[in-house]
Structure 1
Amino acid sequence: MAGAVAAERAGADRVEVCADLDVGGVTPSIGTVASVLARTSRVGVQVLVRPRGGDFVHDEAEVAVMLADVAAVLALPAGVPVGLVIGSLTTDGRVDEEATARLVAAAGGAPVTFHRAFDDTADLSHSLETLVRLGVDRVLTGGGPGSAAEGTSRLASLHEQAAGRIVVLAAGGVRPGNVRTLVRDTGVGEVHGRAPATVAGRVVTSEDVARTLVEACREPFTDPLDGH
Structure 2
Amino acid sequence: MSKIEIACFNIEAARIAQQHGADRVEFCADMQVGGTTPDLQKTEIVRRELHIALHVMIRPRGGNFVYSVEEFAQMKNEILTYSALGADGFVFGILDEAGNIDKQKNKALVELAGGKSCTFHRAFDEVSDSAQALEDIIACDFTTVLTSGCAPNVDLGQEELKRLVEQARDRIAVMPGGGLRSTNIRRIWQETGADYFHSSAITDGSETAVAIEVDALVQAVKLY
Letter in 2 for 1:117: A
Q: Tell me the SS of whatever aligns to 1:34.
A: helix
Q: C-alpha offsets along residues 65-123 of structure 1, whole Å, 9 cap, x if unaligned?
A: 000000000111x4xx6110011100000011111011001100000000000110000
Number of the residue aligned with 1:174? 180
1:87 aligns with one of 90, 93, 100 = 93
Partner of 2:143: 137
Which residue pairs with 2:195 in the alignment? 189
Counterpart CA distance in 1 for 2:135 and 2:91 is 18
Deviation at 1:197, TM superposition (A): 4.5
Residue 169 of structure 1 aligns to a residue whose secondary structure is strand
Distance (Å, rounded) in 2 between the aligned partners of 1:155 and 1:215: 22
Match of 2:15 among 5, 25, 29: 5
**Counterpart for residue 223 of structure 1:** none
Aligned ranges for residues 141-220 of structure 1 at < 5 Å? 141-198=147-204, 202-220=206-224
Larger Rg: 1
> 1:59-98 alignment to 2 at 5 Å?
59-76=68-85, 78=86, 82-98=88-104
Which secondary structure state, in structure 1, belongs to the residue aligned with residue 64 of structure 2?
Answer: coil
Structure 2 unaligned regions, length at least 5: 1-10
- Residue aligned with 2:176, SS: strand
Q: Distance in 2 between matches of 1:196 and 1:172?
A: 12
Pick from 35, 38, 47: which aligns with 1:25? 35
Amino acid in the other structure paired with 1:185: E
User: What is the deviation of 1:202?
Assistant: 3.9
| TM-score normalised to structure 2 length | 0.93
- The CA deviation string for residues 151-184 of structure 1, in whole angstroms up to 9 with x for no partner, is 1111001000000000000111110010000011
Q: How many aligned positions are there?
A: 214
In structure 1, C-alpha distance between the alignment counterparts of 2:185 and 2:206, rounded to whole Å: 25
The equivalences for 1:32-43 within 5 A come to 32-41=42-51, 43=52
Structure 2 counterpart SS, 1:70: helix
AA aligned to 1:128 is L
SS at match of 2:207: strand
Residues 15-58 of structure 1, C-alpha deviations (whole Å, 9 max, x = no match) = 110000101111001111111001112x1111000000010001
Q: Is the 8 A contact 1:113 1:136 kept in 2?
A: yes
1:117 alignment partner in structure 2 = 123
For residues 182 and 206 of structure 2, the distance between their equivalents in structure 1, rounded to whole angstroms, comes to: 21
What residue identity is the alignment partner of 2:178? G
Runs of 4+ with >3 A deviation? none
Unpaired segments ≥5 residues, structure 1? 221-228
Deviation at 1:203, TM superposition (A): 3.0
Structural RMSD (CA): 1.2
State TM-score, norm by structure 1: 0.91
Q: Is the 8 A contact 1:197 1:203 kept in 2?
A: no
Q: Which has the higher contact order (CA 8 A, sep 6+)?
A: 2
Alignment-mate amino acid for residue 138 of structure 2:
V
% same residue: 36
In structure 2, distance between residues paired with 1:171 and 1:197 = 15
The verdict on how the C-alpha distance between 1:36 and 1:163 changes in structure 2, with shifts beyond 3 A counting, is: same
Aligned to 2:25, which of 3, 10, 15? 15
User: Could you report, residue by residue, the CA deviation over 1:162-214 in whole angstroms, capped at 9, with x for unpaired residues?
Assistant: 0000000011111001000001110101110121154xx84321122101111
The aligned amino acid for 1:214 is: V
